[in-house]
């Protein structure tokens, strides 16, 4: 009788463990990206100084900013809408070729539609790095970006 109880106990706990593992794997497998709008920025900066930090020391800036949530303030110098309706907003000084290019999250396209060239905006996005180019100007790229309304 006692042995039966032990076996049952083991079986039940085994089942619970397997079920928990399966649930975890299922959830992890289906995990979506968090909405950037709900994330707190790791760093808040301004477009020109953000670019400068990468220009001065790309390695150090990569270490500091890559994969982090960055809030960037700046003047919109270019609004790009591609054929699928995705928006990219470039922030920075119009006199310079370099900019902070923010790929707007498709869930937040609505907010980007109203943005015009010359507007001062704040954008939150995930930093994916620095694309240095002598001819075209060097850009810091933010992905999954959203407009941050809070001033």
* Contacts to another protein by CB under 8 A: 28-34, 62, 66-67, 80, 82, 86, 88, 90, 101, 103, 128-131, 133-136, 139, 141, 143-144
CB of 82 to another protein, least distance (A): 6
Tell me if residue 5 falls in helix, strand or coil.
helix
CB of 84 to another protein, least distance (A): 9
- Toward another protein, which CB reaches closer, 6 or 95? 95
- Toward another protein, which CB reaches closer, 54 or 147? 54
CB of 34 to another protein, least distance (A): 8
DSSP-assigned states of every residue in 36-82: GGGSPPSEEEEHHHHHHHHHH-HHHHHHHHTT-EEEEEEEEEEEEE-
- Toward another protein, which CB reaches closer, 141 or 147? 141
Token pair 């609004």 is at which residue? 79
Vertex 57, ends 51 and 62: CA angle to 5°?
75
- Toward another protein, which CB reaches closer, 65 or 122? 65
C-beta separation of 86 from 112 below 8 A: no
CB of 44 to another protein, least distance (A): 21
C-beta separation of 146 from 36 below 8 A: yes
């Amino acid at each position: 009788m006692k042995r039966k109880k032990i076996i049952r106990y083991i079986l039940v706990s085994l089942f619970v463990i397997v079920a928990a593992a399966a649930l975890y794997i299922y959830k992890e497998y289906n995990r979506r990206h968090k909405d950037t709008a709900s994330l707190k920025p790791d760093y808040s900066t301004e477009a020109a100084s953000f670019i400068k930090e990468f220009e001065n020391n790309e390695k150090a800036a990569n270490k500091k900013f890559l994969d982090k949530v960055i809030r960037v303030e700046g003047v919109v110098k270019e609004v790009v809408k591609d054929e699928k309706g995705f928006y990219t907003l470039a922030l920075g000084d119009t006199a310079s070729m370099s900019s902070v290019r923010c790929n707007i999250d498709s869930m937040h396209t609505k907010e980007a539609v109203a943005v015009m060239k010359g507007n001062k905006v704040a954008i939150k996005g995930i930093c994916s790095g620095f694309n240095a180019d002598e001819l075209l100007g060097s850009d810091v790229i933010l992905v999954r970006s959203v407009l941050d309304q809070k001033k």
